[in-house]
Structure 1
Amino acid sequence: MRPALARFGSRLLEAAITLWLLATLCFVLLRAAPGGPFDSEKAAPPEVQAALEAQYRLDQPLPMQYLAWLGDAVRGDLGPSFQYPDYTVNQLIANALPVSMLNGGLALLLALLLGIGLGVWAALRAGRWTDRLLMGLAGLGLAVPKFVVAPLLVLVFAVGLHWLPAGGWGEWDNIVLPVIALALPNIAYCARLTRASLLETLSADYLTAARARGLSETRLLFAHALKPALLPVAAWLSPALINVVTGSAVVEQVFGIPGMGRYFVQGALNRDYTLVLGVVLAIGALIVAINVAVDALRAWMDPR
């Protein structure tokens, strides 16, 4: 019990240090970028400009701004948004995070289901034309970036066929194209990874011995080969999540989805310091939590 608690405490400390370094680096880079959140207000009277800077602590020295923001963030207060003055950053994230998690979760689930299924199917038909065709399509899926896939999906299924809406949020059919755009590269990578890992596992000595004992190929696959073959897929879940999170910025912009990625892009363009910092912290905390969960999953799947 004590080693487990020690490992848990060590993970918490690592997570806290990681988030602090991430927030500090983001704070420095934002303030080093040219321009400011109220550059468009230069035509306003000096007293109005001074009042705006005082309201958002921009009149203080940079170290004081950092310490004040960090103290509020530790208490869970991410401050007011510069771009959306009627909302706090906490409120914006509370509204946007479920949207992004729904899109990202469905995209990752679709990638796992289709990717593992297609990878297993290709491995069982290794060397045949169907296997080569599938792996060729997977390579194409990896090569095409999301900022190309998303507009193409809109052009084909919304503009051309009129099957699905081109954007918006609130109905089930608004989810389909964004989820597909986020999932396609991950489906391709998961299929290739599953195929390669399963082929290696099926050639292992212990499976050769199991075949000699008369076990059927179906039982070999599902009872002995599939679980160890999916260990690389479990290890891939962390970078897959990062891929979904980074891709959401493009996809949410294209489809007009009010998620974390869209707020991040708009906040960066408008120098909304508190909003960008809040989104970075929220996404960083989510990635740290997923990494811990993935490590636990890998430990459960690894027979060693």
Structure 2
Amino acid sequence: MSAIRTSGPLASPVARFAARRAGRMVVVLAGLVVATFAIVRLIPGDPGRRILGLRADADAVAQLNAQLGLNGSLPHQFGSYLSDLANGDLGRSFQTSEAVTTVIGERLGSTLQLLVLAMAIVLLVGIPAGLVAGVALRGRHGWGETAWSATTGVLGVLPHYVMATFLAFVFAVTLRWLPVAGSGPWDAAILPAVAIALAPAAHVARLVRVETAGALEQEYMTAARSKRLSRLRLYGAHVAPNVLTAALTLSGVILAALVSGAVVVEQVFARPGIGSALVQALLVQDYPVVQGITLLIGTIVVVANALVDLALGLADPRVLEAGA
């Protein structure tokens, strides 16, 4: 058995780790395809009847459902669905007859702009805040600890729509510093990005604070202090690398939270993203659009989590050996 594990294309721990994660990702994506196909067809209602109206002739409704490929058996519909997916065809909107890929393509840029800015806010606010709190509040249980716990606790549980409404009222309506709606320039993405980033940033800050406090108690920190290193080298070279690994483990969860938050916040700020398109499609039972956007969002989250696992394996040999 040892000869098998030390030769061939999967000889290295990195290759075995990557192969395992890729296999799991494929299985999850396959389950996502099946679930997306099944869930959409479990939504009550007749698409043909909804498109043509309640007074439409039954024959016309049946003919339209046949054109939409909804009259065949479920195995036949699923086979057609897989064939279309293989060709990059997500179908056409029931409402506009526009290709779903076109609907997504027109709106994806706005959502990606929002997610990139929100992720930057989470990392640039959450990690430094957690490091500073871990150092400043180490071993203390006074008003600073109470204020930290209360602030991060409240920010971590506030619903996205509440935060979005508050930010829009203060910074857009009252102060008029930023646009209240729409997309385009980066300043239009600031308020919605902050609205979905504050809760994940609070969770990251709390985690980093705990990891920082734990790292400061380790023996290697005592040795580093004995060398009379500057604060920047002490915390930057010896504490930060350890807490960054812990923060990285949350990246996949953070991305999923940002994507789900974007669905709500895009409605509040009237941004033409894939989140608002998903909500509109759900309201009119536009199955192909719902199916295509759900599949895209799920794929993004699954692939991102796989990449995070791989990055963790490369950054920490212990994770690599355990997963290989």
TM-score by length of 2: 0.87
Give secondary structure in 2 for the equivalent of 1:38: helix
Amino acid at match of 1:98: G
Aligned length, in residue pairs: 303
Long gaps (5+) in structure 2: 1-8, 319-324
Q: Does 1:58 align with 2:66?
A: no
| Cα distance, 1:35–1:296 mapped onto 2, change above 3 Å | same
Cα displacement string for residues 202-259 of structure 1 (whole angstroms, at most 9, x for unaligned residues): 1111111222333333322111111012211000111001100111110111111121
Q: Is the contact between residue 108 and residue 186 of structure 1 (CA under 8 Å) also seen in structure 2?
A: no
Q: 2:261 aligns with which of 247, 252, 255?
A: 247
Amino acid at match of 2:79: L
Higher mean C-alpha deviation, range 93-102 or range 37-46: 37-46
Q: 2:10 aligns with which of 2, 8, 19?
A: 2
Q: Could you tell me which residue of structure 2 aligns to residue 155 of structure 1?
A: 169
Using the TM superposition, give the Cα deviation of residue 156 of structure 1 relative to its aligned residue in structure 2, in angstroms.
1.9
Q: Is the contact between residue 22 and residue 306 of structure 2 (CA under 8 Å) also seen in structure 1?
A: no
Between the aligned partners of 2:276 and 2:269, the Cα distance in structure 1 is: 10
Between the aligned partners of 1:98 and 1:196, the Cα distance in structure 2 is: 36
Between the aligned partners of 2:116 and 2:194, the Cα distance in structure 1 is: 12
Q: Is the contact between residue 47 and residue 65 of structure 2 (CA under 8 Å) also seen in structure 1?
A: no
Q: Could you tell me which residue of structure 2 aligns to residue 285 of structure 1?
A: 299
Amino acid at match of 2:32: L
Using the TM superposition, give the Cα deviation of residue 7 of structure 1 relative to its aligned residue in structure 2, in angstroms.
4.2
Q: Could you tell me which residue of structure 1 aligns to residue 321 of structure 2?
A: none
Cα displacement string for residues 153-172 of structure 1 (whole angstroms, at most 9, x for unaligned residues): 22222222222222112233
Using the TM superposition, give the Cα deviation of residue 9 of structure 1 relative to its aligned residue in structure 2, in angstroms.
4.1
Q: Could you tell me which residue of structure 1 aligns to residue 122 of structure 2?
A: 111
Q: Is the contact between residue 111 and residue 183 of structure 1 (CA under 8 Å) also seen in structure 2?
A: yes
Q: 1:29 aligns with which of 39, 55, 66?
A: 39
Cα displacement string for residues 53-108 of structure 1 (whole angstroms, at most 9, x for unaligned residues): 122111222222122112211222111111331x2111112222222121111101
Q: Is the contact between residue 168 and residue 257 of structure 1 (CA under 8 Å) also seen in structure 2?
A: yes
Q: Does 1:75 align with 2:90?
A: no
Higher mean C-alpha deviation, range 240-249 or range 278-287: 278-287
Q: Does 1:100 align with 2:114?
A: no
Q: 2:148 aligns with which of 134, 141, 144?
A: 134
RMSD: 2.0
| Cα distance, 1:75–1:197 mapped onto 2, change above 3 Å | same
Q: Does 1:121 align with 2:132?
A: yes
Between the aligned partners of 1:184 and 1:18, the Cα distance in structure 2 is: 29
